[in-house]
């Protein structure tokens, strides 16, 4: 199904887009114990299903078990999944466990993977909706650098002996499915199988990422996660990155370009695992970015649930973003400005290649003519609004400019003043 959007994205968040066949399927699934409320989303059944799918029994070190249990409990009590949403969510959780098992199997079969080195990564860690996707794709157009492709994020370890073809095909099918279920979503954040994607999906292998709270209403899990040690997640990320480097041998490894707003909340942990990272912190007026991201979350939740409360989204994610900024600024003060490059959204839009050159200089990477040409070509293809025009209103999410300004006053004074 083609991702042909309406001219503007919908602001009827309480009534998510639901194609007629999906509504009919939900009615049918809701009548059966297998796919209705009885569709099991619990750690034991999920792990059993992953074992059956892979034939593997080892899911690696056990730190994932508690967050998985907390997550599924929150899903069952708070997410209000519709029947198809339950099927999709259960399938995603099984897939994550299966990926863990396949990663462990690869390390057993190829112990030399441990010798791979993730050196001097560039980490784009700005808040959501600050130009991070455009910047990520620009840098990824340089063949000397190594970005995570969407199909790799979904399946970091080989599925079988067929190489990458099956993984790419599955990612393309997922892209088509999302385009059918939520065509407006692509106008907000394009999810394309062969394009660079956020490494938060690799962090999710530990069940300690913000993926769940960005797509489901799981406030209890979100609050619990904020108090947990993120080191297992970042060790798991490094482990997956080494595996992906190994899969491209004998080609040169290339320096990684990571990208996720998730990192802003946990820069202290990121630096403990990647001490030589260069962090690119993108900045944009929060009055624009917070409601824009809340719109993205609301559209995402509508894929899984018929109950989407935009004011609930606004409260949850504005508080989350305030925390991310506060923790990010504290970690930056401790680490020192030498690790950071600041990029303002307005400057990125006005002179994207000029901003890229600043990043390259900070990361000690020569900016070559081929790099310049590749970025120009990418910019021509990444036309704004090519999937539709994203519209949103702060008031739909209960957000007031004065409240945002007050909560982020130190940040605004330092980076937007």
Whole-angstrom distance, CA of residue 177 vs CA of residue 407: 38
pTM of this prediction? 0.93
Whole-angstrom distance, CA of residue 18 vs CA of residue 370: 45
* Those residues with Cβ within 8 angstroms of residue 227's Cβ, 6 or more apart along the chain or in another chain: none
Query: What are the Cα distances from residue 104, in Å, to 26, 46, 55, 163?
Result: 36, 18, 13, 18
Averaged pLDDT, 166-177: 92
Task: Pick the closest to residue 381 from 171, 201, 192, 130 (CA basis).
Answer: 192
DSSP state of 36: S
In which band, very low, low, confident or very high, does the pLDDT at 30 lie, cut at 50, 70 and 90?
confident
The dihedrals phi and psi of 291, each to the nearest 5 degrees, come to -65, -30
Whole-angstrom distance, CA of residue 68 vs CA of residue 262: 18
pLDDT tens sequence across 245-288: 999 888 877 899 999 999 999 999 999 999 999 999 999 999 99
What pLDDT is stored for residue 38 in this prediction? 47
Report yes or no: 108 and 100 within 8 Å, Cβ to Cβ: no
What pLDDT is stored for residue 382 in this prediction? 80
CB neighbours of residue 366 within 10 Å: 8
Whether 163 shows a pLDDT value over 80: the answer reads no
Whole-angstrom distance, CA of residue 386 vs CA of residue 389: 8
From 29-43, 172-186, 217-231, 281-295, the region with the lowest mean pLDDT: 29-43
Quote the distance between the C-alpha of residue 267 and its chain's center.
Answer: 16
In which band, very low, low, confident or very high, does the pLDDT at 35 lie, cut at 50, 70 and 90?
low
Residue spans of beta strands (DSSP E) within 300-394: 340-344
| % residues pLDDT > 70 (the chain) | 96
Q: What's the token pair of residue 339?
A: 């690790």
Whether 301 shows a pLDDT value over 60: the answer reads yes
CB neighbours of residue 144 within 10 Å: 12
Higher-pLDDT residue of 214 and 30 is: 214
pLDDT tens sequence across 84-99: 999 999 999 999 999 9
The dihedrals phi and psi of 160, each to the nearest 5 degrees, come to -165, -165
Report yes or no: 311 and 398 within 8 Å, Cβ to Cβ: yes
What pLDDT is stored for residue 366 in this prediction? 97
| Residue found by looking up tokens 């099927």 in the block | 87
> Which H helix or E strand runs over 374?
helix 369-381
From 10-24, 35-49, 102-116, 290-304, the region with the lowest mean pLDDT: 35-49
What pLDDT is stored for residue 218 in this prediction? 98
Q: Which domains does the chain have, with CATH numbers?
A: 20-415 (3.40.50.300)
Whole-angstrom distance, CA of residue 70 vs CA of residue 64: 10
Averaged pLDDT, 175-199: 90
């Amino acid at each position: 199904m083609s991702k042909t959007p309406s001219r503007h994205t919908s602001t009827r968040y309480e009534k998510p887009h639901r194609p007629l066949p999906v509504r009919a399927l939900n009615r049918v699934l809701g009548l059966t114990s297998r796919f209705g409320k009885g569709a099991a989303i619990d750690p034991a059944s999920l792990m059993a299903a992953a074992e059956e799918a892979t034939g593997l029994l080892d899911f690696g070190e056990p730190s994932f078990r508690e967050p998985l249990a907390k997550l599924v409990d929150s899903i069952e009590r708070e997410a209000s999944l519709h029947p198809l949403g339950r099927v999709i969510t259960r399938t995603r959780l099984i897939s994550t466990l299966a990926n863990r098992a396949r990663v462990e199997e690869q390390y057993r079969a190829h112990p030399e993977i441990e010798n791979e080195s993730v050196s001097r990564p560039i980490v784009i860690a700005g808040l959501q909706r600050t130009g991070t996707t455009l910047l990520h794709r620009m840098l990824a157009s340089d063949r000397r650098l190594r970005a995570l492709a969407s199909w790799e994020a979904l399946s970091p370890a080989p599925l079988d002996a067929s190489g990458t073809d099956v993984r790419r095909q599955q990612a393309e099918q997922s892209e088509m499915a999302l385009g059918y279920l939520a065509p407006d979503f692509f106008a907000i954040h394009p999810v394309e199988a062969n394009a660079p994607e956020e490494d938060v999906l690799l962090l999710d292998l530990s069940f300690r990422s913000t993926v769940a709270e960005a797509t489901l209403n799981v406030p209890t899990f979100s609050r619990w996660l904020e108090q947990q040690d993120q080191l297992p997640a970042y060790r798991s990320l490094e482990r997956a990155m080494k595996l992906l480097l190994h899969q491209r041998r004998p080609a040169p490894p290339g320096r990684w370009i990571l990208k996720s707003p998730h990192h802003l909340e946990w820069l202290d942990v990121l630096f403990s695992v990647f001490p030589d990272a260069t962090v690119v912190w993108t900045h944009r007026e929060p009055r624009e970015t917070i409601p824009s991201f809340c719109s993205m979350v609301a559209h995402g939740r509508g894929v899984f649930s018929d109950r989407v409360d935009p004011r609930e989204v606004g409260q949850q994610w504005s508080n989350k973003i305030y925390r991310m900024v506060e923790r990010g600024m504290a970690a930056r003060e401790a680490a020192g400005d030498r690790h950071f490059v600041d990029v303002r959204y307005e400057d990125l839009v006005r002179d994207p290649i000029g901003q890229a050159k600043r990043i390259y200089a900070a990361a000690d990477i020569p900016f070559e003519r081929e790099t310049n040409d590749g970025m120009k070509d990418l910019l021509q293809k990444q036309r704004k609004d090519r999937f539709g025009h994203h519209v949103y209103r702060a008031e739909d999410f209960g957000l007031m400019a004065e409240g945002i300004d007050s909560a982020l006053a130190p940040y605004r004074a330092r980076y937007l003043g």
